[in-house]
Chain A
Amino acid sequence: MKIEIVENSGKKIIGITGDIDMYSSPALRDELMGLIKKKALALCVDLRSVTYIDSSGIATFVEGLKCMKAYGGRLQFCEVPHGILEIFRFSKLDRVFEVYGTIDDAINS
C-alpha cells in the first residue's frame, strides 16, 4: 500500500494505492491520525486505486471519522470503487461516511 497526500484547493487529499489490510492499515492509521492531531478541518480520502479493504482498514476510517467529528472536522471519501461501496453499505457506514463521486465533488461540497 502507498499513501500520497496532496493539497487541492486548501483541502488535503489522501490518495491510497493497493491493499488495505491488517498488515498495511497501521501505516494508514499513522498517516490519518497524524493529520487529525493537527486538527485538519477536512480530509478527502481518494480510494480509486485501492484494490482491497478489510475490517481493519474500515476501522481506521471509523476511528478517524469519530476523532474528526469531535472537533467539527470532516472526513470525506471520493472515487470509491463499487466493491468498497458495497462493503460500506453492508456495514451501514454509508449512513455516516461522506461519499462523493469525484475529488471536485468533495472539494466543492
Chain B
Amino acid sequence: MTRALREGFGEETQIGDAGGFQALPADPVIDDRMAAYILKAQPSFEGFRSAAAQLAGLLVLASIGGRDRVLDEPLLEQAESAHKEAEDILRATHAPAAAAHHHFHLSLASERICEALRIARQGSLRINDASLDRAHQALKAGWQEMLSAGKALPGFQVVDFTQACCAAHRGRAARLRISTD
C-alpha cells in the first residue's frame, strides 16, 4: 500500500477502489440512541457549518480588499444568527456515550466559531486590521473541529458534494443518511 510520507498530504489510494482506507476505524454501530443523537445534532452541525462559511466569505471579501465596509454586508448578522440557533440545538441534545467524541468536537467548533464571530463584530475587518487575522485564526480552529466532528460519525458532511461533478451516487444513501424507518 502506497502512503503519502509528507506532512500535510492526504493518503494516496490504490487503483480501483477504497483499499487505502481499510485501516481506518470502522464507523460505530448506530443503535437507536445514536440514531436519535445524529438526527438531533445534524441541524446543529449544519448551522455551525453555515455560520463558518458565511464568516469565511466575509473574510475573503475583506482580504481581497474589494470591499471597504464588509461589516455592512448582512452576512455577519446571518452568521451570528445561524450560530446561535445551532448552539441552542446542541445544548438541548443529549449525547450518548458512544457519541461523546463527536459531541466534544462539535462543542469546540461552536466555541471557536463563536470567538471568531465575536472578533469580527468587535473589529473593523479592514484589510490591514489585526482583527481580520485574529478572526481568521479562530475560524480556522473552529473549522478544524468541524472536520474532526465530521469524521467522528457518519451523516455529518462539511461539504455537500451532491451536485459535484464526481457525484456518481455510489452507496451514498447507505452511508450518509440515517433512516428512521
Partners in one complex: no
Residues of chain A having any CB pair with chain B under 8 Å: none
Residues of chain B having any CB pair with chain A under 8 Å: none
